[in-house]
Chain A
Amino acid sequence: MNDVERELRRAFHRRQPSAGFADRVGEAVRQGRTRKRQRQRWMAMAAAVVVLCSLGGGYWQVRREAGRTVDQLNLAVQITGEKLNFVREAAARGLLERDDAGKNVGEGNVGQNNVGEKE
């Protein structure tokens, strides 16, 4: 080993950190553990909130869909009812008109015959 190497070994000898370094590391470990525990607790709470929100949102969505379906069903029933009414009225009107026409035809024939008989 030459002189430069000897000097380098002296210059690069290991030095101790400032006093209390190990205590500070220990404290940081304890704080880190506490922080980790707190973080886990917060994460659990956040997860619970997310689950509850999802369930609530899902329930609200289902209810909204159900309400919409009921509205659509009511509308369909209403439209069907109106159509049925219309058809029933049309059918009734048609029947009446047929009856009237039938009556008129019958009465006309009788009259003509009567006229002939008289002559």
Chain B
Amino acid sequence: MFRGRSQAEREADFADLVHEHQAMVYSIGLHLLRDAALAEELAQEVFLKLFENWGAFESREHVKNWLRRVMVRRVIDHTRRAKLRPCPGLGSAPEPRVPVYEPDILASEHLELLVARLPERARQIVALRYQEDLEPAEIAQLLGLSVGAVKSTLHRSLLWLRTRMERAGVRNERC
């Protein structure tokens, strides 16, 4: 799709794609990691990777799917690495980056607090289902799970969320 174009045209195409998909890529990171600065950092890395592989894409749809898949992989890799990393003491902690404190966007409402309490895998599935509107089969392919596992996790997560919301009276207030 982008082969045989001049440098300036390629840069313009790339800028268009960044504008078009930045919300999707960033939101995947934000909803899965719940850290705005980190989500931006990973999103930037993913777009740089896109530029490096520029000649390999056949269509805009291909680019979109690639971005989604690579961002999800990055987030999962980051989460795994963060789990393996030993917790440093406060003395060895680096100076916090600016902004010092990112408000937790998901925790602003009760449902979002509940979602934040979901296990990591369940949160990934819920986020991909309701942010990206993906079907269970697509989510299964992205996360390397079986369709059955995705469906059951989704079902259990919704049930748990509904129960908690009803218990807290959120449902009645909203309806």
Contact = CB atoms under 8 A, between A and B. Distances in A.
Given A4-B165, A5-B158, A25-B18, A11 B130 contact: yes
The interface centre, meaning the residue of A8, A13, A25 with most chain B CB atoms within 10 A of its CB, is A25
Contact of A3 (B11, B18, B127, B171): B171
Contact of B26 (A4, A13, A16, A26): A16
A29 B48 contact: yes
A24 B150 CA distance: 36
A5 B161 CA distance: 10
A94 interface: no
A9 to B, nearest CB: 5
A4 B40 contact: no
A17 B23 contact: yes
Taking chain A's interface residues, is the majority helix, strand, or loop, or is none over half, making it mixed? helix
A29 B14 contact: yes
B51 interface: yes
**A-side interface size class:** 20 to 34
Given A3-B174, A4-B165, A8-B130, A17 B22 contact: yes
Contact of A14 (B24, B106, B129): B24
Interface string B111-152: 110010000000000110111000000000000000000000
Interface of B: 11, 14-15, 18-19, 22-24, 26-27, 30-31, 36, 39-40, 43-44, 47-48, 51, 105-106, 109, 111-112, 115, 126-127, 129-131, 158, 161-162, 165, 171, 174-175
- 3 closest Cβ contacts across the A-B interface? A12-B131, A17-B26, A12-B130
